[in-house]
Amino acid sequence: MSTDRSMYSTLGASEIGALLSMGLSGIVVAQVYTYARRFSNDPVWLRIFVCAISCVHRYTALPPLSLFDENTHRICELAYTILLMIAMHAISVTAAARIPASVYMCMLVGSITGILTQVFFARRIWILSGKPYITFACWVLAAFRLVSSVVSAVSSFRTAPNWGDYVVSGTRTFVTVLSGAFAGHPTDGCRDRQTHSVDRSNGSHDKARLRWQSYTLPHAHETYTTVNSSASMAILILLVTAPDNYAWLAVLICFPRLFSISLLTSLNARAAFREDLESTLPMESIRFPQVPAAPSDIMCHAVEEPRYPTEAL
């Protein structure tokens, strides 16, 4: 593969991915702000987990710029790319096509974001279903993805000095993304199946259903998880069928944002679900105390206030 073609293809794909990632970054920031304002009473470990995901998101906010220089993340992405295209003749094509170490770090950190998100949802499946073997299988796949991501990043850093070599020897990337797809699809499938089984076996006000839906609003959350799984399969298809056009790179750049949005959407949906319950579900029956003999004593007995089913959430 020629170095010229490698650089031009990488530039176009990375810029498309960067523009999409910039749009998704705004969604992540808004979701983090909403979570911090509404759920300050969540367990400490959960708040630390969200904080870690947010920090990872900030670190990988501008990964494509490190294709050309490790310090160019301080410059506007689009303006820098236009500058490159205008002054292309003054740039060393060989230097532009070389992959700096920061690219591998961004990809590795982005993979870890996806792994942490999958582990989080696998734990939720365990809490709901009470079947540890499902969670164990998802954890094994996530651990395999973590190991393959680290091995792929280290091996690529040593043996693939430019993007052309990286695509030619793309077996490691294929295995890493494939393991991520296998880890994501069972997790999404088990979660959806568990939601529908709860709907079929319990009433509309069943505690198990409220407990499950307090962590996820199905319509919004399933949309993002489906996008995550579809994106992983799209990378596999593009990497196999058309590796030279770097379309898989554009999708890969958006990966960390998609996982972060999926996680934060599932957490923030609890507020919307509570509001919906309080406005639509009937209140529990009000129990009045026994009427005393003396009419003057009636006012001394307080009437029990209605309770909403969202108190447990």
Question: Residue 270 corresponds to which amino acid?
Answer: R
DSSP string, 24-68: HHHHHHHHHHHHHHH-TTS-HHHHHHHHHHHHHHHHTSS-GGGGT
CA-CA distance, 212 to 270, in Å (whole number)?
10
Burial class (CB in 10 A: 0-12, 13-18, 19+), 27: middle
Count of domains observed in the chain: 1
Range of the domain at 79: 3-276
CA-CA distance, 164 to 5, in Å (whole number)?
9
pLDDT value of residue 268? 78
Question: Residue 200 corresponds to which amino acid?
Answer: R
pLDDT value of residue 254? 73
pLDDT digits (tens, 9 = 90+) for 217-273: 444 445 555 666 666 677 667 767 766 666 776 777 777 777 777 777 777 777 665
Q: CB pairs under 8 A, 24+ apart, for 20-23?
A: 20/250, 20/253, 20/254, 21/61, 21/63, 21/253, 21/254, 21/257, 22/77
| Angle of helix 101-129 versus helix 247-280 axis, rounded to 10 | 30
**Mean pLDDT rounded to a whole number for the chain:** 61
CA-CA distance, 152 to 150, in Å (whole number)?
5
Q: Which residues contact residue 288 at a Cβ distance below 8 angstroms, ignoring those fewer than 6 apart?
A: 303, 304
Phi, psi of 302 (to 5 degrees): -80, 135
The CA distances from residue 20 to 13, 32, 62, 221, 310, in Å, are 11, 19, 11, 20, 37
pLDDT digits (tens, 9 = 90+) for 177-203: 555 555 554 455 555 454 445 444 444
Q: Does a structural domain hold residue 166?
A: yes
Q: Does a structural domain hold residue 307?
A: no
Average pLDDT over residues 59-66: 47
Report the CATH number that the domain containing residue 163 is assigned in CATH: 1.20.1070
Q: Does a structural domain hold residue 293?
A: no
CA-CA distance, 17 to 4, in Å (whole number)?
20
CA 183 to chain centre: 13
- Alpha-helical (H) ranges within the chain are 3-38, 44-59, 77-86, 93-97, 101-129, 132-159, 163-168, 171-201, 207-213, 218-241, 247-280
Grouping H, G, I as helix, E, B as strand and the rest as coil, residue 206 is: coil
Q: Does a structural domain hold residue 308?
A: no
The token pair that represents 230 in the structure block:
């579809």
Average pLDDT over residues 29-38: 82
Q: Does a structural domain hold residue 176?
A: yes
Which of 63-77, 206-220, 259-273 comes out lowest in average pLDDT? Answer: 63-77
Q: Does a structural domain hold residue 177?
A: yes
Q: Does a structural domain hold residue 282?
A: no
pLDDT digits (tens, 9 = 90+) for 101-155: 566 666 677 677 777 777 777 777 777 777 777 778 777 777 777 777 777 667 6
Q: Does a structural domain hold residue 211?
A: yes
